[in-house]
Chains A and B, each alone.
Chain A
Amino acid sequence: MSEVTKNPPAEKQDVAPPSRSLFVKPSYESSRVDDEWQISVLMPGVKREHLSVSLEKAELTLVGRRSDEVPEGWRPLYEERVRADYRLRLQLNFDADAERITAHLEDGVLTLRLPENEAAKPRQIEVK
């Protein structure tokens, strides 16, 4: 479970100091399951302790720092992978219940579950 901060402090550097200034946007997909949105983000090479998830207003920010550094002495013969950290910012178009957001990172895939805020759901009003 990664930290989920409801209102990150004003000094943004505290959230996750990026080890590099270069970011790539990770591939992701989202789906609606029952009352929540599930987002799967591909972040190969990121460990749990180097991942931060934060929600500020309706913007969800994910920053994942890679830990699969190329060891000293390895000479590249051929490189396709981008040596950068991951950052994904998503504007949520629904009211997510920040208290109930869960994040799970396994084998380089982050799975986020964002339940909708109960109060924000449309409800049927009974006509008397």
Chain B
Amino acid sequence: MKLIRYNDPLSAQLRSFDNWYAPSLSRAFGSVDRFFDLAQGLAVRNGLADQRAIAADLYEDEENYYARVEMPGVKKQEVDVSLDERLLTIGYQRKSADEGGESVSGDRSLTVPDGVDADKVTAKLEDGVLTVTLPKAEQIKPREIKVK
């Protein structure tokens, strides 16, 4: 009989599932971390914001859509926001402060609903949170229809 190692096709997804839920589990238990263990286990990186996926939220109100993206440690001049059709991409690039250090970059894309007035998109970076305001085009705004 031959033993063949079986690679579950789902294992990659399961791993990413773990990645998603492990942080919230450790949050839930509110563990007090041992400084020493972590200091040994974590490599020091040039940039901070690159260590995990950039988290984003999307909201709307009558007038606009709003994308909120976490970019701790990123400066205004390092951020690049672009909108291509419905794909909103927020990226950053920074040169390392140390001489000869690598530059750090990252980006995050979000699909926004149809009907954004692309010429009027604005973005504001405050305390490491970027808020992109995407005004809705006139034709998609809700309107009251008068019954005659």
Residues 39-54 of chain B, each 1 if its beta carbon lies under 8 Å from chain A, else 0: 1001011001101100
Chain A interface main SS type: strand
**Contact across chains for B42 and A30 when beta carbons are under 8 A apart:** yes
The answer to whether B35 and A30 touch across the interface, beta carbons within 8 angstroms, is yes
Task: Name which of B4-12, B60-68, B114-122 contacts chain A.
Answer: B60-68
Please, how many angstroms separate the alpha-carbon atoms of A89 and B42 in the complex?
17
Chain A residue at smallest Cβ distance from B52: A27
Residues in chain B near residue A93, CB distance under 8 A: 34-36
Name the residue of chain B whose CB is nearest to the CB of A114. Answer: B35
- B44 near A107 with CB under 8 A, answer no
Q: In the complex, which of the residues A40, A43, A89 contacts B128, with contact meaning CB atoms closer than 8 Å?
A: A43
Contact assessment for A77 and B60 in the assembled complex, using a CB-CB cutoff below 8 Å: yes
Least CB distance, A72 to chain B, in whole angstroms: 9
Residue contact A59 to B57, C-beta cutoff 8 Å: no
Say yes or no: B65 contacts A23, CB within 8 Å: no
Task: Please state if B44 and A25 are interface contacts (CB–CB under 8 Å).
Answer: no
Residue pair B128, A45 in contact (C-beta under 8 Å): yes
Known: A45-B128, A77-B59, A77-B60. A25 touches B39 (CB 8 A): no
Contact B27 A29 (CB under 8 A): no
List B residues 2-48 near A (Cβ within 8 Å).
23-24, 26-27, 30, 32-36, 38-39, 42, 44-45, 48
With A and B bound together, what is the CA distance between A45 and B66 in angstroms?
16
Which parts of A48-82 form the interface with B (CB within 8 Å)?
A: 59, 67-68, 70, 73-82
6 A-B pairs, CB-CB below 8 angstroms?
Answer: A25-B27, A27-B48, A30-B39, A82-B24, A91-B35, A92-B35
